[in-house]
Amino acid sequence: MHHTVFTDASLILTGENIIIACCYFAISLGIAYGVWRNRHAGVDPLVMAVAGIFFSCALGHGMHGAGMLGLPNPIVWQVATDFVTVIIAVYFLSFYRSFDLLARFSQIFTSKVELEDKNKILEQAMLKLQLTQSQLIQQEKMSSLGQLVAGVAHEINNPVNFIYANLDYIQEYVQDLLEFIELYQKHFPTPVAEIRALSQKIDLEFVKEDLFKIFKSMKIGTERIKEIVLSLRNFSRVDEAELKKVDIHEGIDSTLLILQHRFIASPENIEIDIVKNYGDIPQVECYPGQLNQVFMNILANAVDALEEINHQQKSPKIQQEDSNRITISSYIVNSRWVEIKIANNGPYIPIDFHQRIFDPFFTTKPVGKGTGMGMSISYQIITEKHKGKLMFTSNSGADTEFIIQIPIVQTTAMLLAS
């Protein structure tokens, strides 16, 4: 019978192997418990291989310690546990190719994420560039249009003033001539046959009555042209300082006068009623030409909306319950702001479009009828140039209303911020 002789060194070595075996066993048991706890997510063979390696190492050290304590055939047990360890290690190494592919996929995924981020940055930069380009083009168009309008208005104004100023003299001269004819008829009531024939041919009595009506019409027409010319000059504002105090109502009236041809009923246009609810507001420090551009954009869009519903109402199934109407109101808000409301009783803006109505290039109009820049530029003019607010409300059964709020005075802090 074999008796094992224990020495202090062998006892220490045996205890060391048993402790190591317990540690390896605890690690493998912990991994196995974690896998069991998360079994609903699936069992990862790679994790189980790692747990097996720790478990086989625990067996190896355990068998070594047990052999030193007198276990029969310790070498056989040691070889068996080492063989199991080698098999598990080989199985573990079979995942090397997976590690390599996983690393490559990780690199590809990381590169893809970086590329997508760069693409998003480029798309945002491109959109911003397109917006800036469109705004610059629009501003250049408005500047050129303003200069053209001012030049045309000036050229029209000169001959119109000449005609208008001479109408009174012509009317006075014609009046004198008619008085002279009446005086001649008084003293020579029986003219010769040739004079009587010409008098009947030209219908002298009708000419005398109609002539002053013509003068009155001509005077009204020239006054109308003068108003249009003045409105064009007020709208363009090219002959004034860029930032100055102006009468907001004057700018609105000028814009309305330019668009008046779209308010009058005709075979092409519908009749639109303009309702003005002007409040008592002071002059406002602003950029008049750009502010008039905002009025033009909002009013033109309102007309387009009313024309759209008019086309729908041509159907016999749709009856018009109210006249086409644009309402313009002005108020003072908190003694430091003015508020302009422009409302129309056309079709409401669908709720899905509310978040996009001021976005560049967004339009609900058919192709060729809108660029999608009018409201975007208006929003920029009000919020950035005037440090104000541009809002709107639109619900089914109620008017669509655009609300402009700008400070009465552009403070130094606002100007520096711009």
**Bridge partner residues of 18 (DSSP):** none
Amino acid, res. 200:
Q
Amino acid, res. 45:
P
Q: Which residue has the higher pLDDT, 104 or 216?
A: 216
- Which pLDDT belongs to residue 28? 76
- Which pLDDT belongs to residue 1? 43
Question: Over 90: is that where the pLDDT of 327 sits?
Answer: yes
Residue 290: CB atoms within 10 Å: 19
| pLDDT band at residue 249 using 50, 70 and 90 as cut-offs | very high
First to last CA, the chain: 103
- Which pLDDT belongs to residue 337? 93
Average pLDDT over residues 256-267: 82
Cα gap 377→389, rounded to integer Å: 13
Question: Over 60: is that where the pLDDT of 121 sits?
Answer: yes
Would you list the DSSP string of 105-127?
A: HHHHHHHHHHHHHHHHHHHHHHH
- Which pLDDT belongs to residue 67? 62
Average pLDDT over residues 198-207: 85
Cα gap 171→187, rounded to integer Å: 24
Helix axes 74-93, 45-68, angle to 10 degrees: 160
Structure confidence by residue, pLDDT tens digits, 134-171: 666 666 566 555 566 666 766 777 788 888 888 888 88
Question: Over 70: is that where the pLDDT of 91 sits?
Answer: no
Which pTM value belongs to this model? 0.54
Structure confidence by residue, pLDDT tens digits, 376-408: 888 888 998 889 999 988 887 778 899 999 999
